[in-house]
Amino acid sequence: MVDEIVRVAIVGGGRTGAPVLEALLSVPYIHVVGVADRDSDSPGAVMAREHGIFYTEHADVLGAKADDIDLIVEVSGDPSVKPALKDAFRSQGNNDTIIVHDLVARLLMSLANRTDRLVPSLHPHDRGVG
């Protein structure tokens, strides 16, 4: 019997993305497919390369890997990234990949760290499904 694996990509390798990546790397049922960050020296970009994970400076490149990604944690802080990812997925007929919102990422980080307060937002403008 094969255990289910969740294939994840992260967009944004900075203050939010790097801790998310670090947490995901320790979970056996998660396979990190790729990391995108414009800054090739960001902590998440460096960590990805150190672990042999696909890295790109361009988030839309992950669109080409859409069939290999179950969900994307989008914590770049750039409001243009999410619509671009959605367009890339639609152009390939991919309606299955889930784009995880900053709030969900913060909630999961807070739960994982067992904090009594929600991790603060570094991207307060990221609201709703837009």
Give the CATH number, domain containing residue 39: 3.40.50.720
Q: How many CA atoms lie within 13 A of 90 on its CB side?
A: 6
More confident site: 39 or 122:
39
Instruction: Using alpha carbons, list the distances in angstroms from residue 58 to 47, 55, 110.
Output: 17, 9, 28
pLDDT for res 130: 47
Q: Is 38 a member of any domain?
A: yes
CA distance linking residue 1 with residue 3, whole number of Å: 6
Closest CA to 21 of 112, 94, 117: 112
Q: Is 1 a member of any domain?
A: no
The whole-model pTM stands at 0.83
Per-residue confidence at 126, pLDDT binned at 50, 70, 90? low
Q: Is 123 a member of any domain?
A: no
pLDDT for res 8: 95
Q: Is 96 a member of any domain?
A: yes
Hunting for tokens 């570094």 — which residue is that? Answer: 122
pLDDT for res 101: 76
Q: Is 2 a member of any domain?
A: no
Task: Give the chain's domain count.
Answer: 1
Q: Is 130 a member of any domain?
A: no
Q: Is 46 a member of any domain?
A: yes
| Average confidence score pLDDT of the chain | 84
Residues 70-88, mean pLDDT to the nearest whole number = 85
Q: Is 120 a member of any domain?
A: no
Domain that holds residue 72: 7-112
